[in-house]
Amino acid sequence: MTENNRYALNKNLAQMLKGGVIMDVSTPQQARIAQEAGASAVMALERIPADIRVAGGVARMSDPKMIKSIQAAVSIPVMAKVRIGHFVEAQILQEIQIDFIDESEVLSPADDKFHIDKTNFEVPFVCGAKNLGEALRRISEGAAMIRTKGEPGTGDIVQAVRHMRLMNAAIKKITSMAEDELFEEAKQLEVSYEAVKYIHENGKLPVVNFAAGGIATPADAALMMQLGAEGVFVGSGIFKSGDPAKRAAAIVKAVTNYNDAKMIAALSEDLGEAMVGINESEIKVLMAERGQ
Amino acid sequence: MRIGVLALQGAFIEHIHKLQALGIDTFEIRQPADLQTTCDGLIIPGGESTVIGKLLVELQLLTPLKNAIQAGLPVLGTCAGLILLAKTISNATQPGINTMDIVTTRNGYGRQLGSFNTVATFAGEKIPMVFIRAPYIQKVGPQVEVLGQVEGRIIAARQANMLATAFHPELTDDPKVYQYFITMINQQNQRRVV
């Protein structure tokens, strides 16, 4: 085979996931339910964020054996999480041929200063970002996809909305700036001039941008899509609800037809109990603050 | 000329941008109501074939699109689109359009680490090709013309009004696959007028 540009191929895989729903699963059976319901990828992890939040303590990469059992159960891409800065966990996931690594604030950070140098890897990375500066820093480190950080495991959409709006506002601002203002903007955002120039010229991130954190209903998913997300991650919202298969399928359809209120109204009926959720103001650990 | 792009999931906007760059009118297909309009051709994009297949069924698009293709509507399927057009998938059971007489192998090159790009021949011309967790065509029926191979595997084929590629023409700057498809549509339209 000819010389390959891994980074381009990795960004391309993220493009194929667009308009889709990536679901957290912790067993092969859940993975099959997710695939059956129309997930465009699954995130394999031992404990979903809501349980990590309850359990407390140090949350680490999942057992590779458990991840492999999920790879064997489905034909769609399988993602898994590593701790921020834990490049050896990432090496392990690459070794077992993971399709995408999520360097995630949901797990306990392994490095309080540095993220993984993702350019050293062949497999793609997705990283969370609260604002444009974080997104562009992760991309310069080699992330092939960005997601909002939301507040995982809460079922509260407020942070995902806040992060998406902050990102959009910052992008719009740069798009309308004069050329000579871009240098100062790069300095303020603590990112390279080239990154700011790309935003100025294209009006969007150079990689795919998904919403994550707190999505629990078809309406939540459609809200994030209308705010400009290119797809959604649903973590605890599915398997912490009363009827996971039905809710998952409804969220998938709401993402495809996110502008069709009539359809979303029908999809929202009779889904059983949603995850209970916790309000942002009621929780002690704000995971989104991990890794700047 | 007006081409509909199936926009249920995946890289549909990339196809739309390529067609627009060639000066072609496009529209997105997300539900049956979107089909009440003139349509000279259809593109089924890359994405996850399980997701698109499931949504085709549940959004009641499978039957109308299948009927239109069987009635001669020119269609281009790329990657997941190829899988959905194939009559048979060697290693999976999932809903699809199943109109093209080919046997395909899903994830034929393995996981993301098996994704690659190369330059190879499509319909007699060398073009850049991007393969993302791609399928390949294992076998073709007698009515199917093979249009390209990479390392002995069939990666592009045509049967009458159906064109399928295992690679993603929407991810490179080369317009040849689109030009080929537009020629197919023009020939079809001429036939209709005659």
Task: Give residue-wise pLDDT tens across range A142-177.
Answer: 999 999 987 777 878 999 999 999 999 999 999 999
**Which tokens is A195 given?**
């990154």
Q: Does B158 touch chain A (CB under 8 A)?
A: no
Higher model confidence: residue A34 or residue A54?
A34
> What pLDDT does residue A275 have?
73
Q: Which of B5, B6, B9 is best to mutate for the A interface (most A CBs within 10 A)? A: B9
Where does the pLDDT of residue A1 fall: very low under 50, low under 70, confident under 90, or very high at 90 and above? Answer: very low
Question: How does pLDDT run along chain B (194 residues), one tens digit per residue?
Answer: 999 999 999 999 999 999 999 999 999 999 999 998 899 999 999 999 999 999 999 999 999 999 999 999 999 999 999 999 999 999 999 999 999 999 999 999 999 999 999 999 999 999 999 999 999 999 999 999 999 999 999 999 999 999 999 999 999 999 999 999 999 999 988 876 65
Q: What is the pLDDT of residue A3?
A: 44
Q: Give start and end residues of each alpha helix (H) in chain B.
A: 12-21, 49-58, 62-70, 80-85, 176-193
Q: Which residues of B touch A252 (CB under 8 A)?
A: 51, 54-55
- Decide if B117 and A17 are in contact by the 8 Å CB cutoff: no
Domain residue limits at B8? 2-193
Indicate if the pLDDT at residue A246 is higher than 90: yes
Which one from B14, B15, B39, B79 is the annotated catalytic residue?
B79
**Reduced DSSP (H G I as helix, E B as strand, rest coil) percent helix, strand, coil of chain B, to 5:** 30, 35, 35
Domains of chain A from N-terminus onward: 3-158+205-269 (3.20.20.70)
Classify the C-alpha dihedral B101-B106-B109-B115 as positive or negative: positive
**pLDDT, position A2:** 41
B39 assigned to active site: no
- Tokens representing A30 are 């859940």
> Is B132 labelled a binding residue?
yes
Tell me the average pLDDT across A115-129: 97
Gap from A284 CA to chain B (nearest CA, Å):
37
Question: What whole-number distance in Å separates Cα of residue A184 and Cα of residue A152?
Answer: 33
Is A85 an 8 Å CB contact of chain B? no
CB atoms within 10 A of CB A284: 6
CB contact B59 to A (< 8 Å): yes
Q: Report residue A17's pLDDT band, with 50, 70 and 90 as the boundaries.
A: very high
The CATH number assigned to the domain holding B57 equals 3.40.50.880
Domain count for chain B, please give it: 1
One-letter amino acid identity for A85? G
pLDDT of residue A279 exceeding 90, the answer is no
Q: Closest to B9 (Cβ–Cβ): which among A2, A124, A256? A: A256
Average pLDDT score, chain A: 93
- Among the listed residues A11, A81, A118, A240, the single catalytic one is A81
Q: Measured between CB atoms, does A256 come within 8 Å of chain B?
A: yes
Q: Maximum CA pair distance of chain A? A: 55
A279 or A149, which is more confident? A149
Q: Is the CB of B58 less than 8 angstroms away from the CB of A97?
A: no
- Helix intervals (H) in A39-86: 49-55, 64-73
**Distance between CA A89 and CA A102 in Å, rounded?**
11
Confidence (pLDDT) at A4: 59
Which pLDDT does position B193 carry in this prediction?
63
Other CB atoms within 10 Å distance of the CB of residue A203: 12
Residues B133, A2: C-beta atoms closer than 8 Å: no
Among partner residues B11, B92, B110, which is closest to A18 by beta-carbon distance?
Answer: B11
| Residues of chain B positioned with their CB less than 8 A from the CB of A263 | 31
Q: Does B90 touch chain A (CB under 8 A)?
A: no
Predicted confidence (pLDDT) at residue A247 exceeds the cutoff of 80: yes
Alpha carbon separation from B139 to A12, A82, A84, B104, B177 (Å, rounded): 27, 41, 45, 7, 21
The full DSSP string for B36-51 is SS--SEEEE-SS-HHH
How confident is the model over A128-142, as a mean pLDDT?
Answer: 97
Nearest to A76 among B50, B130, B168 (CB): B50
> Would you say the C-alpha torsion B194, B162, B88, A31 has a positive or negative sign?
negative
List of residues 6+ apart from B96 with CB closer than 8 A: B49, B53, B56, B83, B84, B85, B86, B89
Which range among A1-10, A115-124, B3-12, B126-135 shows the weakest confidence by mean pLDDT? Answer: A1-10
Q: Do B116 and A38 touch (CB under 8 A)?
A: no
Residue A38 touches chain B, beta carbons under 8 Å: yes
**Residue B152 buriedness (CB in 10 A; 0-12 / 13-18 / 19+):** exposed
For residue A248, is pLDDT > 70?
yes
